[in-house]
Amino acid sequence: MLKSLKTAVFGVLALGLMSGLMVGIAGTAKAEVITLKLHHLLPPVSSAHKNMLVPWANKVMKDSGGRLKIDIYPSMQLGGAPPQLAGQARDGIVDIVWTLPGYTPGLFTRTEVFELPFMHSSTVATTLAINEFADNHPEDFKAYKIIAMHVHAGQLFHSRKPIRTVADIKGTKIRTPTRTGAWLIEAMGAVPIGAPVPKIPELLSKGIVDSVLVPFEIVGPLKLDQLVNYHIVLDDPKTTRINTTTFMIAMNKKKYDSLPADLRKVIDNNSGKHIAKWIGEIWDAAEKPGMAKAAASGEIFKLPPAEVAKLRAMTEGPVTERWIKDVSSKGIDGVALVKEARALIAKYSK
Q: What pLDDT, in 10s, does the model give residues 205-243? A: 999 999 999 999 999 999 999 999 999 999 998 899 999
The pLDDT, as a whole number, for residue 167 is 98
The pLDDT, as a whole number, for residue 106 is 87
Percent of the chain topping pLDDT 90: 89
CATH number 3.40.309.10 given to 156-243+287-349? no
Average pLDDT over residues 100-116: 95
The pLDDT, as a whole number, for residue 121 is 86
Question: Is the pLDDT score of 56 beyond 80?
Answer: yes
Alpha carbon separation from 330 to 301, 325, 340 (Å, rounded) = 40, 9, 18
* 306 and 166 Cβ atoms separated by less than 8 Å: no
Question: Is the pLDDT score of 176 beyond 80?
Answer: yes
The pLDDT, as a whole number, for residue 14 is 44
Question: Is the pLDDT score of 19 beyond 60?
Answer: no
Alpha carbon separation from 255 to 39, 59, 94, 148 (Å, rounded) = 15, 19, 10, 17
Question: Is the pLDDT score of 261 beyond 90?
Answer: yes
Per-residue b/e over 298-323, b at no fewer than 16 CB within 10 Å? beebebeeebbebbbebbbeebbebb
Percent of the chain topping pLDDT 70: 91
Average pLDDT over residues 290-296: 97
For the chain, what are the domain ranges? 32-152+246-285, 156-243+287-349
CA dist., res. 202 & res. 209, Å (int) = 9
Q: What pLDDT, in 10s, does the model give residues 68-107? A: 999 999 999 999 999 999 999 999 999 999 999 999 988 9
- Write down the pTM of the prediction: 0.89
Whether 156-243+287-349 and 32-152+246-285 are alike in CATH topology: the answer is yes
Q: What pLDDT, in 10s, does the model give residues 148-170? A: 999 999 999 999 999 999 999 99
* 328 and 334 Cβ atoms separated by less than 8 Å: yes
Considering the chain, what is the average pLDDT of its residues? 92
CA dist., res. 79 & res. 21, Å (int) = 43
* 184 and 133 Cβ atoms separated by less than 8 Å: no
Average pLDDT over residues 136-143: 95
Q: What is the CATH number of domain 32-152+246-285?
A: 3.40.190.170
More confident: 219 or 10: 219
CA dist., res. 323 & res. 127, Å (int) = 21
Question: Is the pLDDT score of 54 beyond 50?
Answer: yes
Question: Is the pLDDT score of 264 beyond 80?
Answer: yes
The pLDDT, as a whole number, for residue 30 is 53
Residues 6+ away with beta carbon under 8 Å from 224: 158, 200, 201, 204, 212, 214, 218, 290, 294
Among 82, 60, 81, 57, CA closest to 71:
57
Residues 6+ away with beta carbon under 8 Å from 144: 89, 90, 248, 250, 251, 252, 253
Give SS3 for 20: helix
Question: Is the pLDDT score of 1 beyond 70?
Answer: no
The pLDDT, as a whole number, for residue 31 is 67
